[in-house]
Structure 1
Amino acid sequence: MGTELVRRGGVLPGEEAIAKGASIILGPTANMQRSPLGGRGFESFSEDPVLAGLVAAAAINGIQSKGVAATLKHFVGNDQEHQRQSVDDIVTERALREIYLMPFQIAQKHSSPWSYMTAYNSVNGIHVSEDPKLLRSILRDEWGFDGMIMSDWFGTYSATESIKAGLDLEMPGPSYCRGQMVKQALGFGKLSEYDIDGCVREVLKLVKKVMPLELPENGDESSIDSPETAALLRLIASSSIVLMKNERGTLPFKKDKTTAVIGPNAAIAAYSGGGSASLLPYYAVSPLEGIKSQVPTAQYTIGAPEWRDLPLISNITTTEGGKPGLCMRLFLDPPSKKNRQVVDELYVSTSNLILYDYQNPKIPSNLYWAELEGSITPEESSDYDFSISVAGTAKLYVDGVCVVDNETKQTSGDSFFGKGTVEEVRTTYMEKGKRYNILVTFGTLPTQTCTAPGAVGFGAGGVRIGGARKLDRETEISRAVELALQVDQVIVCAGLNKDWESEGYDRPNMDLPEGSDELIRAIVSANPNTAVVIQSGTPVSMPWLHEVPALIQAWYGGNETGNAIADVVFGDVTPSGKLPLTFPILNEDNPAFLNFRSERGRTLYGEDVYVGYRFYEKSRRAVNFPFGHGLSYTSFVMENLSVKDAISPSEEIVVTVDVLNTGSVAGAQVVQVYVAQDSPTINRPPKELKGFTKVHLNPGSRESVEVRMFKNYAASFWDEDRNAWVMEQGRYSVLVRDSSTNTPLTGSFEVETTRWWTGL
């Protein structure tokens, strides 16, 4: 089905987990990209449930091929971050089945994950972690899942109800919701030993499945930072990049021409969105580094700062020993106590610290204090901004003077998954070449004076320390324009990063950060030979789209993101990625626009089954780029479509098509197969994706490719009257080519008798 590279990508975290001494991976995420604003949209795969389900299955198969358990999450409806633990998703049974449960159903059919994680939210009045319909009736009884179900972190809200519903494991430990409550429930007769045994049995079954790994308890962590891993990461990242627009053959650029790299995303490696998915990589290549590795003479300027939070101060600090980062000292007593003793000393390479899982036998509780120290030697005299956001309390001193105080007075914010404060920012002047001492005093979460309603548990909390030269946007854009006028070709790197797209909060709008639109327009006006590279996990507004000759969507490409971008920009790799979600013109065009976010504790899924392209095509609404879109440096022809019908509803329809590379370079094309019911008895989307595959072809070569799809999945919708899937009698059109709006090849199959069915 064209997911082999995803499966190979799944093998990597499976191997990495073993090296780290872990036997369970908390992923993949198969929730829907219902709105462009979803904070964790970058973690999910698609707005289409079939695509999301098949990709999730491939990732799971890769992970579990190494004997490591995958955890499919978040089951089900965790499609926004706003009030995610308290929101009630009000959704029709048909939309629940066809859109939101379908990725999990497909993944269950094609991969059999060993574990599921429940969503934080409620669905139609009941929290998922205590909903017997979802956990027992559908997941276990109807789909035949035979594995362990765990809660999301602090996503267990009851003892008796969750156990009876089928939630096997409360996470994390030690228990805060079960434990003593379970003992009481047993004594009061609300629970029986049989109920408890069922949960214990599933946990032990999972333990037995991963025992062949023979991982030692509390073993040393190792790594697999190998050239082979890097090569595969680079291939995955470059294969995912989508060439959105390429007028007059602007791309690929020539390596022997003078080149400028401009933009706020150029010198940083935006390798992931934020939150629990944002792990510390062994390394991460920025676009600037990737481009300069191929064009060493490329010149750079930032153009326009676009940070939501200040860049980490660890980018510009060094320790006394000269290492980049900070020295961290930990104490059992506050700074007010004289001659307090250091109980631990650590080197930290990042100034974004989460101490949830920090353990030290000398520190008996979550209440302790720390100092973080380093130095800065400015490269130019200027005002410098410093910042602190904290789950706890903190102050920042420059040469002994308190510059930022996030202790005396605190304001609740969205940092640290909603448990922390707002980012407090202050400015001080620093001279070029002078060495300044930076000291941050930090008290852990129990010292915090402001509270976050609804936030549960976070251990010792954390602190994020920012610092950077204060930039004037107009001055920086003027510098960028001046540079653009001096070179043959310009690469503008803009977009979002893990501060803008993150677990814990949703985006307020689709806009790029302030100044980015102005920068792009100014550079294109100055030098028409400009390519814009956007990094984001979900769509952004593009008011400059018709002015830009070349546009690349690069997502968050992991460790090798910068090298992958350079490979595509300079033609070492022919782009072949396709959009897994529609890019609307405006957020107001999105079908979830009126019903996104929680309103008094509930979110109405008013668009029903019309999510993403299903809505845009039904309403004939213009978009910037349709679902499935993606250009190439070569060209393809598809012809000779053949549809071989299935003998029975549970067997596969085989779609065959010839693909010919008519261009001058090697490339890959994705064959997309959509199905439309010709005469449905209810309102249905114009067509729906049911299968796809990817074919790699040399210039002038031809290949006949197959796409297989189960007939009952290709034809059915959810019948709420019968509480079952129905495959109605009649003719179904098969529409094939390379995006949801470009399907000129047509075939068909027949359903001779209306049938209802349930299960997988």
Structure 2
Amino acid sequence: MKPTEIDIEAVLAQLSLDEKVALLSGIDGWHTKAIPRLGVPSVRMSDGPNGVRGTRFFNGVPAACLPCETALGATFDQDLIRQLGQLLGQECKAKGAHVLLGPTINIQRGPLGGRGFESFSEDPVLSGTLAASYCEGVSSENIIATPKHLVCNDQEHERVAVNSIVTDRALREIYLLPFQIALGRARPGALMTSYNKVNGTHASEDPRLLRDIVRQEWKYEGLIVSDWFGTYSVSEALNAGLDLEMPGMSHFRGPSLIHAITSNKVKEHTIDERVRSVLRMVNLASRSNIPEMAPEVQRNLPATSALLRRAASESVVLLKNEGNILPLNPSKKTLVLGPNANIATYCGGGSASLPAYYTTTPLQGIRAKTTSPDLVSFTQGVYGHKELPLLGEQLCTAEDGRVGYTFRVYTESKEANPARVAVDTLHMTSSSAFLMDYMHPQVKSDVYYVTMDGTFTPTETGEYEFGLTVAGTGLLYVDGKLVVDNKTHQRQGTSFFGIGTPEERGSIHLTAGQKYAVHVDYGTAPTSNLKVKNVVSFGPGGVRVGGARRIEPAQAVEEAVRLAADTSAFDQVVVCIGLNSDWESEGFDRPHMDLPAGSDELVHRVLAARPDAVVVVQSGTPVTMPWASNAKALLQAWYGGNEAGNGIADVLFGDVNPAAKLPLTFPVTLAQNPSYLNYRSEGGRVLYGEDVYVGYRYYDAVGVQPLFRFGHGLSYTSFASSGLSLAVQDTPKVTDASLSPSVTVKNTGERAGAEVLQVYVAPPPTTALRRPIRELKAFHKVPVLAPGESRTVHLPPISLALATSYWDENRDAWLSEAGAYTLHVVGTGADNVVSQTFVVESSRWWTGLHGNVATKAVNGVNGHA
């Protein structure tokens, strides 16, 4: 695509009605319509938010995988997020993508959301501010960022049908605010709507949301695009303001739209407005200088690895460190154990997943840190997978011995034609094949058949389990013996975005060193026996093959405890537990907060035998930790991307001094969280009963102590803040007023380290209605301070309008209420808080992205938040 902008009005004047309609939907999964005669090119989109997958779910080109967004939220670091956004822009160029579908900025109402790991935080200011930095980074490479999903797409259960019932106040103060901040600060070129209804109307056809708020109030001029298959109407969506339906081929914007126009249900001037938005997006995309239908390549560079490692390590939160057990000593003998130790838990599931350039496990990272790899030993303990580990990379091809297997595609079933001939043959390594974007010229429909063939050579003798998950039908054979039948009788599951089965398993005894032929016969989704409703069907289905040696959990735990207790053999013990993409994924919500079966028992018993064992948790959202009071050293490590294992090791051994803070509240139990009684769809609706009291706002209001509070995170050093001062500043043209805090930060410990400052504002005691006790309004990461070093830190200016306002439903406007507010700057460590009061002298209502509030600062004090 040449960096030449088209004349939008000239093009619009020459477009036929059919061409206008064609521009308003995609032509396939990832591309918009080109009009060559008028110089309008096709634009490519690609999934984010934590990487750029390109145009292929199926057998895609490897890419850089960033830590998940909750991990990025934990950094509280706008500069780092901006750099990662720039990296994503560069990755887009490698994948030929003009538009990146990210960041995700939905709010985690509670801990069970299947896509909770995809969003930054439970707090709208942290989410919106980091989203703005992310978009700025992406835009710096002339790539279009797409914040998503507008709005209240906070659960997966019946996500395309559920009606999210939420008060206007909560909608504005919690759920729309991240979008308001991101759009106001970064002006990204695109915005994606959500699947769900909001107060009775699907978001993609809600005129109050798209026209009144986004277009008129926020003055947003970028593209508004549907989530994939998230368009549900012809005239309603067009009239409300949805510019682009994705993916193609269109369900609603072909002959049906022409008919709506001719019957006057949609005015042609409305079509023209939608086309203008698409053409503006095309002009923005042209600045990237990415050609149409560009080839997809890898750009696995040392600089990329270094940035990803920094992001992984700086996202790790130190939750506990009693007795300064951490950091570990690289010269001492170390035992590593647990279900997440020897696997690369690098990303969650669903549209955020992608094949990474490479991955690192915690065990690999720890071994690389020690003075000799021989100092590190490993034992499994228990498994933590929901589905058996992918088998593909454990196989080799019979033809040439390459790692992987042979994937063959047929247009007929084996029963219909025993002499059938494959129309396509591929070599693959991943044994999870989602066929949404598989194409071949001889495959004319969604009904086709696949075989997968590879050789498995076990390293240990024993009973092996094999698993087969399908959206379709499948049979798995080992040396000609049927081991798994997922065809004759099928159960509804949550795989492949909700259209597939659960994993069906079978077992067989295998001998170490012997070669076994593994063969899978698979038929695509239309061959399935299941009847699926209230889920989006993403194409012709998919197949997943897993396998692992069966272990006896009780014996494995006994062995782990025996080794951990042996202080003569091991000086240090690290237990790695958590979730993975089996448990946290688009398409389904978690049924509970618990770790996989056996994990809690393993940790309980290891800590009883070895109280100084370090526990490392990897998850995208909170998990229950019934053993937390017994753990002396505890890390929350998230899904850390390509460099997850190295990032964990960097913190364990002190090469990186942790500064990260929790972007989510970790409740003690599921029942403690504020959404407990109002989560999941019931009768087609979900009531946001906690109103504005989401996350820490709820715990503060009711005086309940969670397991770990929002914003919690320790360091290997200590800090003290003092000398808080406030300055009120008017911006040019008096469009807004801002408060600029400055504070002195001192490293009072013995190690160099970075600090994170969190700025909260408490409302006046005379407020007219109940408000949260305090709300995050700004934050800043202070670069590394040497031991004893002090630095005066000027925090980013805070909009007084946003810092002091609540949504007044009676006036349908923001209200900055007169009164005395208290600003708290919270640092690392107990009681490390400085506070000062400022006064809003008169109440004022406002709308839009900003407000103008008269203020003055008074009587600065030090105190506790």
Note whether the superposition's TM-score is higher than 0.5.
yes
Once the two structures are TM-superposed, the CA of residue 394 in structure 1 deviates from its matched residue by 1.0
Seq. identity, %? 50
Deviation at 1:743, TM superposition (A): 6.0
SS in 1 for 2:722: strand
Measured in 2, the distance between the counterparts of 1:364 and 1:158 equals 27
Q: Distance in 2 between matches of 1:357 and 1:323?
A: 25
Amino acid corresponding to residue 303 of structure 1 in structure 2: G
**Residue 63 (structure 1) aligned with residue 126 (structure 2):** no
Matches within 5 A, 1:90-489: 90-295=165-370, 296-297=373-374, 298-320=376-398, 321-336=400-415, 337-484=417-564, 485=566, 486-489=569-572
Give the TM-score normalised by structure 1: 0.98
- Maintained 8 Å contact 2:465/2:508: yes
Write the letter of the residue equivalent to 2:652.
V
Structure 2: how far apart are the matches of 1:319 and 1:159? 49
Decide which moves more: 451-460 or 498-507. Answer: 451-460
Q: Distance in 2 between matches of 1:459 and 1:42?
A: 25
Q: Which residue of 1 aligns with 2:781?
A: 694
For residues 1-45 of structure 1, what are the alpha-carbon distances to aligned partners after superposition, in whole Å with 9 as ceiling and x for unaligned? 940000001111110011111101110000001101111110000
Q: Answer whether contact 1:666 1:698 (CA < 8 A) is retained.
A: yes
What do the CA deviations read for 1:176-205 (whole angstroms, capped 9, x no partner)? 233121122122221121122221111111
Which residue does 1:575 correspond to in 2?
Answer: 658
Report the alpha carbon displacement of residue 389 of structure 1 after superposing the two structures with TM.
Answer: 1.0
Instruction: Tell me if the contact between 1:489 and 1:527 (Cα under 8 Å) persists in the aligned partners.
Output: no
SS in 2 for 1:370: strand
How far did residue 698 of structure 1 move? 1.4
Residue 460 (structure 1) shift: 2.0
Match of 1:705 in 2: 793
Paired letter, 1:308: K
Question: Partner residue of 1:600?
Answer: 683
The one-letter code sitting in structure 2 at the alignment partner of 1:316 is: Q
1:685 aligns with 2:772: yes
Q: For 2:818 and 2:423, locate their aligned partners in 1 and report how far apart those are by CA, in whole Å.
A: 74
Contact 1:629–1:738 (CA under 8 A) maintained in structure 2: no
- Measured in 2, the distance between the counterparts of 1:739 and 1:568 equals 17
- Contact 2:721 2:833 (8 Å CA) reproduced: no
Counterpart residue number, 1:674: 760
Out of 710, 723, 727, which is 2:816 matched to?
A: 727
Question: Does the 8 Å CA contact 2:755/2:828 hold for their aligned counterparts?
Answer: no
TM-score (structure 2 length as normaliser): 0.87
Q: Is the 8 A contact 1:627 1:740 kept in 2?
A: no
Aligned to 1:737: 826
The whole-number CA distance in structure 1 between the counterparts of 2:828 and 2:585 is 29
- 1:305-363 Cα shifts (integer Å, max 9, x gaps): 12111111124222222222221111111122122112111111111111111122222
CA distance in 2, matches of 1:521, 1:315: 33
Give the Cα separation in 1 of the matches to 2:722 and 2:407. 64
**1:60 Cα deviation after fit:** 0.6
Q: In structure 2, do the counterparts of structure 1 residues 385 and 292 end up closer, same or farther at CA, with 3 Å as the change threshold? A: same
Structure 2 residue identity aligned to 1:480: A
Describe the superposition over 1:629-672 as per-residue Cα deviations: whole angstroms up to 9, x where unpaired.
Answer: 11011111111111113456812101110001111221111111
Residues in 1 aligned to 2:279 and 2:771: alpha-carbon distance in whole angstroms: 44
- Which residue in 1 is equivalent to 2:740? 654
Task: Report the Cα offset of residue 401 of structure 1.
Answer: 1.2
CA distance in 2, matches of 1:248, 1:214: 56
Structure 1 residue aligned with 2:118: 43
**CA–CA distance in structure 1, aligned partners of residues 119 and 215 of structure 2:** 24
CA distance in 1, matches of 2:136, 2:299: 20
CA deviations over 1:234-287 (Å, ceiling 9, x no partner): 001111110000000000000111101101001111111110101111111111
The alpha carbon displacement at 1:742 in A equals: 4.9
Deviation at 1:392, TM superposition (A): 1.3
Deviates further, 184-193 or 554-563 = 184-193
Cα distance in structure 1, aligned partners of 2:832 and 2:646: 33
Letter of the 1:211 counterpart: S
Contact 1:39–1:504 (8 Å) recurs in 2 = yes
The gaps in structure 2 that reach 5 residues or longer are: 1-75, 850-865
Deviations 1:393-440 (A, max 9, x none): 111010011111111222221100011112111111112221110000
Measure, in 1, the Cα distance between the counterparts of 2:787 and 2:138: 35
Q: Distance in 1 between matches of 2:211 and 2:636?
A: 41
Unaligned stretches of 5+ residues in structure 1: none
Matches within 5 A, 1:621-636: 621-636=704-719
Of 561, 568, 588, which aligns to 2:671?
588
Select 1:527's aligned residue among 610, 615, 622.
610
- Structure 1 residue runs of 4 or more that deviate by more than 6 Å after TM superposition: none
Stretch of structure 1 that moved more, 738-747 or 692-701: 738-747
Name the structure 1 match of 2:156: 81
The answer (yes or no) to whether the contact 2:718–2:829 under 8 Å persists in 1 is: no
> Which residue number corresponds to residue 537 of structure 1?
620
Moved more, 120-129 or 192-201: 192-201
Question: Contact 1:86/1:601 (CA < 8 Å) preserved in 2?
Answer: yes
Q: In the superposition, relative to structure 1, how do residues 739 and 141 fare at CA in structure 2: closer, same or farther (>3 Å)?
A: farther
Residue in structure 1 matched with residue 577 of structure 2 by the alignment = 494
RMSD: 1.3
Question: SS at 1:396's partner residue?
Answer: strand
Describe the SS at the equivalent of 1:417: helix
CA contact (8 A) 1:488 1:529 kept: no
1:299 partner letter: S
Do the aligned partners of 1:87 and 1:601 also contact (CA within 8 Å) in 2?
yes
Q: How far is the alpha carbon of 1:212 from its aligned partner?
A: 2.3
Paired residue secondary structure (2:345): coil
| Aligned-partner SS, 1:713 | helix
Matching of residues 15-26 of structure 1 within 5 Å = 15-26=90-101
Secondary structure of 1:106's aligned partner: helix
Return the letter of the residue paired with 1:718.
Answer: W
Measure, in 2, the Cα distance between the counterparts of 1:480 and 1:317. 29
Contact 2:112–2:592 (Cα < 8 Å) also in 1: yes
Map Cα deviations across residues 565-589 of structure 1 (whole Å, 9 max, x no partner): 0000011110110111111111111
- Looking at structure 1, the residues matched to 174 and 616 of structure 2 have their Cα atoms a distance apart, in angstroms, of 31
Q: Secondary structure at the match of 2:238?
A: helix
